Structure 1
Amino acid sequence: MRLLSSRAALLGATLLSGALAVVGGTVAAQAKTLVYCSEGSPEGFDAALYSTNSTWDASSETVYDRLTEFKAGTTEIVPGLAESWTISDDNLEYVLKLREGVQFQKTDYFTPSRAFNADDVLFSYNRQIDKTSPWYNYTGMGNWEMFDAMEMGKIVKEIVKVDDHTVKFVLNQPDASLLAKLALNFGVILSAEYAAQLEKSGNQLDLDHKPVGTGPFVFNAYQQDAVIRFAANPDYWGGKPKIDTLIFAITVDSTTRMQRLKAGECQIAPYPAPADVEGLKADPSLTVVEQPGLNVAYMSYNTLVAPFDKVEVRKALNMAINRQAIVDSIYQGFGQVAQTGVPPTMWSYNGAIKGPVYDPELAKKMLDEAGVKDLNMKIWAMPVARPYMPNARRTAEMMQADLAQVGVKVEIVSYEWGEYLKKSRDKARDGAVILGATSDNGDPDNMLSFFFVCSAIGSSNMSNWCYKPVDDLLQQGRITSDATKRKEIYEKAQEYIDEQAPWLPIAHSTVVLPMSKKVKNYVMEPLGSHRFKNVDLDE
Structure 2
Amino acid sequence: MKLRKGLWLLLCLTFVMSLFLAACSKDKEAGGEVDKPEKEKDPAVEEPVEETGPVNGGDLIVGSTGNPTMFNPYFSTDTASSDIEGFLYNGLVTVNLDLEVQNDLAEEITPSEDNLSYTVKLKQGVKFHDGEEMTADDVVFSYMMLKNEAVISERKSNFESMEKVEKIDDYTVKFTLNKVDVTFYPTTLSYSVLPEHILGKVDPATLHENEFNTKNPIGTGPFKFEEWKDGEYVKVVAFDEYFDGRPHLDSITTKIITDANAMLASLQAGEIDMWNAVPGTELETAKAIPGIKIEEGLALSYTFLAFNQKDERFQDKRVRQAMTHAINRQAIVDSIMNGAGQVANAPDSPLMWTYNDDVPKFDYDVEKAKALMKEAGWEDTDGDGILDKDGKKMSFSVKTNQGNKVREEIAVVLEQQLKEIGVEAKPAITEWGAFIEQISAPNWDYEAMVLGWALSTFPDSYDIFHSSQIQEGLNFAWYKNEEADKLMEKGRQTPDTEEYKQIQKDLYKIITEDQAYTFLYYPTEFRAMPENLEGYEFHSRSPFYNVHKWWLKPTE
Instruction: Give TM class, smaller chain.
Output: 0.7 to 0.9
Tell me the C-alpha RMSD between the 2 structures.
2.4
The correspondence for 1:85, drawn from 84, 109, 120, is: 109
Shift of 1:125: 1.7
Paired position in structure 2 for 1:439: 455
Paired letter, 2:194:
L
1:43 aligns with 2:69: yes
Shift of 1:262: 3.0
Shift of 1:173: 1.2
Report matched runs for 1:40-79 at 5 Å. Answer: 40-59=66-85, 61-71=86-96, 73-79=97-103
The correspondence for 2:401, drawn from 379, 383, 398, is: 383
The correspondence for 2:377, drawn from 341, 360, 371, is: 371
Equivalent position SS for 1:474: helix
Aligned length in residues: 487
Paired position in structure 2 for 1:261: 267
Equivalent position SS for 1:178: coil
The correspondence for 1:477, drawn from 491, 504, 514, is: 491
Paired position in structure 1 for 2:468: 455
How far, CA to CA, are the matches of 1:57 and 1:428 in structure 2?
Answer: 24
Paired letter, 2:469:
A
Paired letter, 2:221:
G
Shift of 1:354: 5.2
Equivalent position SS for 2:540: coil
* TM-score, with structure 1 as normaliser: 0.85
Paired letter, 2:468:
S
1:419 aligns with 2:445: no
Paired letter, 1:95:
T
Paired position in structure 2 for 1:193: 197
Deviations 1:89-116 (A, max 9, x none): 000000000111111112xxxxx5x411
Shift of 1:284: 4.5
How far, CA to CA, are the matches of 1:163 and 1:520 in structure 2?
Answer: 40
Report matched runs for 1:85-484 at 5 Å. Answer: 85-106=109-130, 112=131, 114-132=132-150, 136=151, 142=152, 144-145=153-154, 147-148=155-156, 151-182=157-188, 184=190, 187-196=191-200, 205-209=210-214, 210-353=216-359, 355-373=361-379, 374=387, 375-384=393-402, 390-426=405-441, 428-441=444-457, 443-445=458-460, 448-458=461-471, 459-484=473-498
Q: Relative contact order, CA 8 A, sep 6+: which one is greater?
A: 2
2:465/2:479 contact within 8 Å kept: yes
1:198/1:207 contact within 8 Å kept: no
Equivalent position SS for 2:274: coil
How far, CA to CA, are the matches of 1:314 and 1:412 in structure 2?
Answer: 18
Equivalent position SS for 1:280: helix
Shift of 1:365: 2.0
Q: Give me the identity figure in percent.
A: 27
Paired letter, 2:465:
F
How far, CA to CA, are the matches of 1:120 and 1:160 in structure 2?
Answer: 11
Gaps of 5+ in 1: 1-11, 17-29, 107-111, 137-141
> Which 4+ stretches in 1 moved above 6 angstroms?
none
1:261/1:516 contact within 8 Å kept: no
2:307/2:314 contact within 8 Å kept: yes
The correspondence for 2:533, drawn from 519, 527, 537, is: 519
Shift of 1:235: 0.8
Paired position in structure 2 for 1:20: none
Gaps of 5+ in 2: 1-26, 31-55, 380-386, 388-392
* TM-score, with structure 2 as normaliser: 0.83
How far, CA to CA, are the matches of 1:49 and 1:74 in structure 2?
Answer: 28
Of the structure 1 ranges 390-399 and 255-264, higher mean CA displacement relative to structure 2 is found in 255-264
Deviations 1:112-163 (A, max 9, x none): 5x4111111121122211114xxx1xxxxx3x22x23xx2332111111112
Paired letter, 2:225:
F
Go from structure 1 to structure 2 and tell me whether the alpha carbon gap of 1:153 and 1:283 turns closer, same or farther (over 3 Å shift): closer
1:267/1:519 contact within 8 Å kept: no
Equivalent position SS for 2:165: strand
